């Protein structure tokens, strides 16, 4: 049975802010959606393995071509204010000209150019689509959702188009991460 969000506010519970997420005691695997904390279970070994594989390939390409910055591990981005929304990406890419200087300790107030989500067994389709919508509405140009159980990926673009990729296809950076391509099959090996 999929995990329910651990935090459900009642009418007396004040909404949280992005600053509240940085306080001690807030769970590590959480998003803040319109002021409401949504806690998820840790994703597990397979998820981490796929995250490491995609991150490594993407980071090598981005660094080699000096394209920007790749971050991983639920890196949070503040996508909306009043009430605040902070979403964490499994992997994110930010173009070089958009990388904040100095590197923020908290959450940059923008969406990454590319957000990558790797599904865990407890992820619900509606929640995943809501997260994709938040990324795109806030300015992400490309979102990859990798589904290890079905051995496929969905690609969502800022123009509203989407594609379904099978394991024999490749993730393509398109005009967001120019020149990047990664075959799905090797990273989805059981």
The pLDDT value given to residue 13? 64
Percent of the chain at pLDDT > 70 equals 93
**Max alpha carbon distance in the chain (Å)?**
51
Q: Can you give the residue ranges of every domain in the chain?
A: 42-187
Which CATH topology does 42-187 take? tt1808, chain A (3.90.1570)
Chain segment 127-183, per-residue pLDDT in tens: 889 999 999 999 999 999 999 999 999 999 999 999 999 999 999 999 999 999 999
What six digits make up the tokens of 85? Answer: 């929304």
What six digits make up the tokens of 15? Answer: 């909404």
**In angstroms, rounded to a whole number, what is the distance separating the alpha carbons of residues 117 and 123?**
11
Residues 6+ positions from 155 with CB-CB distance below 8 Å: 142, 143, 144, 145, 162, 163, 164, 165, 171, 172
**In angstroms, rounded to a whole number, what is the distance separating the alpha carbons of residues 32 and 80?**
10
> Which of the four pLDDT bands, split at 50, 70 and 90, describes residue 31?
confident
Lowest mean pLDDT among 20-29, 66-75, 123-132, 150-159: 20-29
Listed in sequence order, the DSSP H helices in 18-145 are 18-21, 45-64, 125-137
**In angstroms, rounded to a whole number, what is the distance separating the alpha carbons of residues 105 and 22?**
9
**In angstroms, rounded to a whole number, what is the distance separating the alpha carbons of residues 190 and 185?**
10
């Amino acid at each position: 049975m999929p995990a329910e969000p651990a935090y459900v506010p009642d009418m007396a519970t004040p909404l949280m802010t992005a600053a509240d997420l940085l306080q001690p005691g807030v769970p590590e695997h959480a998003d803040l959606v319109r002021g409401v904390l949504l806690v998820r279970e840790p994703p597990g070994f397979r998820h981490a393995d796929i995250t490491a594989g995609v991150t490594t390939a993407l980071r090598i390409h981005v660094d080699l071509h000096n394209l920007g910055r790749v971050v991983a591990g639920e890196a949070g981005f503040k996508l909306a204010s009043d009430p605040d929304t902070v979403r964490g990406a499994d992997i994110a890419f930010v173009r070089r000209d958009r990388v904040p200087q100095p590197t923020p300790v908290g959450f940059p107030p923008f969406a990454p150019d590319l957000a990558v989500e790797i599904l865990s067994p407890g992820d619900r389709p509606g929640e995943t689509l809501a997260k994709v919508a938040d990324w795109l509405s806030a300015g992400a140009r490309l979102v990859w959702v990798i589904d290890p159980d079905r051995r496929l990926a969905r690609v969502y673009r800022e123009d509203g188009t989407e594609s379904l990729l099978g394991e024999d296809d490749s993730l393509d950076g398109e005009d967001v991460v120019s020149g990047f391509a990664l075959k799905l099959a090797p990273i989805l090996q059981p």
